[in-house]
Amino acid sequence: MNANIHPMSVVSSDAEIGENVVIGPFCVVEGNSRIGDGTVLRSHVVVGPNTEIGEDNDIFPHATLGMQCQDIGYKGELTRLIVGSRNIIRESCTFHRGTAKGGGVTKVGDDNFIMTGVHIAHDCMVGSKIIMANCATLAGHVEVGDGANVGGFSGVHQFARIGDHAFMGGFTTASMDVLPYMKTAGTREARSYGVNTIGLRRKGFSEETIKALQRAHRILFGMKLLRDEAMKRVDSELGNIPEVAYLLDFIRKSKRGIIRG
């Protein structure tokens, strides 16, 4: 093992530490955990048991990854946290392990920028290339799609979903599903404010795709059509566009309902 472990850290003999890992002072790495090659724990980081962290992550002081969930029904079952690679995880973030009734695992993908104080609760499924700003909070069983942007101090209800490339403004309260590609904001009564045009352009989405999503949003929420009628019209006119097809599928699969325009 070619790792740089500070003598004032405590690393379990049952932990698997990859090549070129740096563990700074006052860190704790518990048993049955794995830290992938090139990951850096700067200082005061706690990695709980049954936690897997991928390669080349940069984890800042006082982050706590893989401790038991905040669920009164948890009875000590073996559950896990899996974090991917190349994530930036800033100060005081908390990612919790899953619950037996929720599938037993919490997952966070790759290339995410997770800012100070973010909380990811048990059984969440968080994708890749996501930005979560300071103190954003995911309750249990939340799904976050790839490329989403979750504003600071936002709160997301249990079992809610955030679609791919969704943009949530700061302080948003999401008690229902957040539409992909759209801007959503609001504290007590969040609303969808249409396509995140600037954000999608920055990510390289074509003008054709952006215009199709704009048209879909207008049909779904701007023409006062019944939901089924609006969905059929969008599918007929624009269903050949993959992003529109995903938007329609996201709406169809919603269990909590969607935040509308």
- Which residues are catalytically annotated? 122-123, 140
**Euclidean distance between CA atoms 24 and 6, whole angstroms:** 5
| Element of type H or E holding 89 | strand 88-89
**How big is the chain, counted in residues?**
261
Cβ-contact 12, 29 below 8 angstroms: yes
- DSSP per-residue codes, 105-170: EEEE-SS-EE-TT-EE-TT-EE-SS-EE-TT-EE-TT-EE-TT-EE-TT-EE-TT-EE-TT-EE-T
User: Three-state SS for 226?
Assistant: coil
Residue owning tokens 């929720």: 102
User: Three-state SS for 86?
Assistant: coil
